Amino acid sequence: MKRIFSGVQPSGNLHLGNYLGAIRNFVRLQDGYECVYCVVDLHAITVWQDPAELARNTRECAATFLAAGIDPERSVIFNQSRVAAHARLAWIFNCVARLGWLNRMTQFKEKAGKQRENASVGLYVYPSLMAADILAYKATHVPVGEDQKQHLELTRDIAQKFNHDFGIEFFPLIEPLIFGEATRVMSLRDGAAKMSKSDGSEASRINLTDDADSIAHKIRRARTDPEPLPHSPDGLAGRAEAANLVGIFAALADRTAEDVLAEFGGRGFADFKPALSELAVAVLSPIAAELRRLMADPGYVDSVLAAGAERAAAIADPVLDEVHEIVGLAAR
Ligand code: AQP
């Protein structure tokens, strides 16, 4: 069976973008693939994390996977720092990737911003670690949101160069799986900015822990324009905030944007927002309730992570052994 790998950073406040762009797809893919889903705590520390918060967020991220419907019997759920193969392969990939490749990464530019000289080296080589995450499992398919596309292209480049340098077809060339009606959910306050955990404004995102009142409040306050909704998606051009809310509605309802606009076209946001709130609450509330239940049972979540780490290491360690042999490094 084909193998999937994907990860989510435990950097707090998992949101609707993480859910619609990634986690919901993780759940659905369990039917056709062998799935490995990772809480990428080593990625999270590329920017400062309070240690106690990081530990809590790691558990909460794993609990979110479970609450959303990832089955720990069928899929492997674990956290990255427990499986040494990730960091070890990342170092080897740091020696394969070229500076010029990393210099082109837009996520580094966005996250480092004007403080580039003060950004951690880890943030810069983040894509090498991501390539290692995936290729330590020889995964072939990687479900992610649109924002991770460039990093996956770099993973392909690293795999290709490794194979070429050592004259062996060892690593597969991965395929990104970017699908659904909301592959890039935007901020509720700014249609030009991605919905993000690190946005300073709570009103910009719907957190997966939000209760019904906060979801409704945030949707009521979401930025829009004064025009009614158009009758087809073409009419959303130049209306980023409206397009975002329609995309969210379509994704939550498992409908197309065309279909949603066939129902709401010609109507204003005073009609659309309450319908969106009702839908968002209906989809997200059961997940939030299950998440709360799981967080009250930390022993269970920790046991899932421990068992998952053993299964993950059993796949990744032999791959690393082969890599050592190919590269000429000592056997472990
Ligand atoms: N706004 C989004 N729309 C669709 N998909 C998204 N993803 C993230 N934001 C959106 C997808 O969620 C998965 C996990 O992402 P991540 O948390 O590991 O890192 P990120 O992409 O850097 O997410 P954030 O929220 O923007 O975090 P911060 O603010 O900490 O940097 C990935 O598949 C991602 O594509």
DSSP string, 69-88: T--TTTSEEEEGGG-THHHH
Ligand 1 atom nearest 145 alpha carbon: 35
Helix, strand, coil percentages, rounded to 5, for the chain = 60, 10, 35
What band does 231 get if pLDDT is binned at 50, 70 and 90? Answer: very high
pLDDT (tens digit, 9 = 90+) per residue, 298-320? 999 999 999 999 999 999 999 99
- Of the candidates 130, 165, 171, the one whose C-alpha atom is nearest the C-alpha of residue 147 is 130
Give residue 269's identity as a one-letter amino acid code.
Answer: F
Tell me the best of 19, 148, 183 to mutate to test the pocket of ligand 1, counting ligand atoms within 8 Å of each CB and taking the most: 148
Which atom of ligand 1 is least distant from the CA of 40? 18
Would the CB of 198 count as within 6 Å of ligand 1? Answer: yes
Q: What is the pTM of this model?
A: 0.96
Catalytic site residue from 2, 109, 111, 114: 111
Distance 21 CA to ligand 1 centre (A): 8
194 part of the active site = yes
pLDDT band of residue 278 (cuts 50, 70, 90) is: very high
Q: Does the beta carbon of 184 sit less than 6 angstroms from any atom of ligand 1?
A: yes
Consecutive H or E run containing 263? helix 257-264
Q: What's the rounded mean pLDDT across residues 135-149? A: 97
Q: What is the pLDDT of residue 331?
A: 86
Alpha carbon distances (Å) from 74 to 61, 132, 139, 302: 18, 23, 16, 17
How far is CA 230 from each of CA 17, 106, 221, 256, 305, rounded to the nearest angstrom?
Answer: 24, 33, 21, 14, 46
Q: What is the pLDDT of residue 304?
A: 98
User: Is-catalytic flag, 197?
Assistant: yes
Q: What is the pLDDT of residue 115?
A: 87
* Mean pLDDT value across residues 180-186: 95
Could you please report the per-residue DSSP string of 110-127? HHHGGGGGGS-HHHHTHH
CB of 10 sitting under 6 A from ligand 1: no
**pLDDT tens digits, one per residue of 60-70:** 999 999 999 99
Share of the chain above pLDDT 70, in %: 100
Could you tell me which of 9, 155, 149 has the C-alpha nearest to residue 90?
155
| Smallest CA separation from ligand 1 atom 8, residue | 18
